Chains A and B, each alone.
Chain A
């Protein structure tokens, strides 16, 4: 009963916070609601026994990425959101997209089946330690995707530096 109650709270809170994030006029407030949203997501990870992921969610998303968002918003001094021209004015289009998305979600929920459990049961993970198990799987089974991710993240960084250096030369 208690886990369901907590899950219910976090699920509803995440939805509500997401709504608050996209509807605030002030962008700094919006980023701060998003911070609260990320914290709730971290709590959901905790309920899945994924303490390492929960902490990384806070360190990386809340501690690094969102701070950069906040920097950007403050440095550009975007106190109030500018009224941008909409691509499509008709509300029917928005409604259609929403319904489409909802259908996909509903179908995927109904199609979901319980897969056979692998070697990593909750008991095993609790015994060996979540961080250790994650490291073993990541660096043995998925080492290539891991390196690919690193490369994908590295390329834009180099690109940004190259662009900035060009600016300086002029």
Chain B
């Protein structure tokens, strides 16, 4: 009986997280279009609803009613499976993110690594999408994307190792708690090298500008998405935005102090302890989401050889040096 109650609670919590995330994703697209519009001297969507607030729903309905086109020479089962793999693996990572103190659906001891594992499964969705479409643009886009994601995953993992060393744990909740007495209440100060490497890799990992080569319109039409239309395309779109949220959440949790306030702030202003942690968490996540859009509106796209050179020749060596220095400091100076 107790087991059933726990299970029912978990299912409800999962459903709540799922629904809230989907709403956030819907409005992230609106937020992005508004922000980029303003930065480019336009006003963004205004027609549907008050100040265009219903635009995401209009887009959703449109993509659901679009014709679902399947290429004649496609590998049909894999063509159907690819978007499902991408969305499922990205959604699963949400399970280990603590939105507030102990607020994760599953408080795993290997939380961060679990997110990495799921991110590496999402690559399959992309490769399969490109291959099963049986089109050369899709295929090139998939190869590019997979090469990019695999390369930057290494830099990303190594740069996070500095945080693991500082926190002495890979559990996301413990990492957040370990940051309270750090300078400014975040690892981003002492781990500034790792932080910069991680942020750059996060852009590459989610295929965002300036690393959106898999979708470089001038060269590859739309990369691995070329042959997809209607709601399958929408699924890929959904997965991209959720993975942006996950990267933003990881940065907020591992480098910016997560849901916790710095120790010196709560000592000076104790009433701030009453504010639920999810407020601070969301402020940090949305600050980073804004940064994503800001960069998209500002920077041009890299060339593919430049992308690989940045990943392998700069980010990976720098993050390895960062680990060694962190380990030495932690062992002998602290």
Contact = CB atoms under 8 A, between A and B. Distances in A.
Interface string A25-45: 000110010010000000000
Nearest to B127: A70
Nearest to B112: A55
A90 to B, nearest CB: 36
Interface stretch (B113-121, B283-291, B316-324): B113-121
Given A58-B120, A71-B143, A131-B170, A63 B153 contact: yes
A55 B131 contact: no
Contact of B124 (A32, A51, A130, A131): A32
A71 B143 CA distance: 8
Most buried by B among A32, A59, A62: A59
A105 interface: no
B40 interface: no
B120 A62 contact: yes
Contacts of A10: none
Given A67-B150, A71-B146, A55 B110 contact: yes
B110 A59 contact: no
A74 interface: yes
Contacts of A28: 75, 78, 128, 131
Contacts of B120: 58-59, 62-64, 67
A59 B124 contact: no
B280 to A, nearest CB: 27
A162 to B, nearest CB: 17
B139 A63 contact: no
A59 B120 CA distance: 6
B95 interface: no
Interface residues of A, number: 21
A19 B130 CA distance: 26
Contact of A63 (B108, B110, B117): B117
A131 B110 contact: yes
Contacts of A51: 108-110
Contacts of B150: 63-64, 67
Nearest to B115: A55
Given A28-B131, A74-B139, A67 B110 contact: no
Contacts of A129: 109, 169
Interface in B105-161: 108-110, 113-114, 116-117, 119-121, 123-124, 127-128, 131, 139, 143, 146, 150, 153
Nearest to B120: A63
Contacts of B169: 129
Contacts of B114: 55
A29 B169 CA distance: 38
A112 to B, nearest CB: 30
Nearest to B119: A63
A28 B153 CA distance: 23
Interface string A120-160: 00000000011100000000000000000000000000000
Nearest to B146: A67
Nearest to B113: A55
Interface string B56-83: 0000000000000000000100100000
A67 B128 contact: no
A62 B121 contact: yes
Nearest to A58: B117
A55 B110 CA distance: 8
Most buried by A among B78, B120, B131, B153: B120
A12 B169 CA distance: 35
Contacts of B124: 32, 35, 67, 70
18 contacts: A28-B75, A28-B128, A32-B124, A51-B109, A51-B110, A52-B113, A55-B110, A58-B120, A59-B120, A62-B121, A63-B119, A63-B121, A67-B127, A67-B146, A70-B124, A129-B109, A131-B109, A131-B170
Interface of B: 75, 78, 108-110, 113-114, 116-117, 119-121, 123-124, 127-128, 131, 139, 143, 146, 150, 153, 169-170
Given A63-B120, A74-B139, 12 more contacts: A52-B113, A55-B113, A55-B114, A55-B117, A58-B117, A63-B119, A64-B120, A67-B123, A71-B127, A71-B146, A74-B143, A129-B169
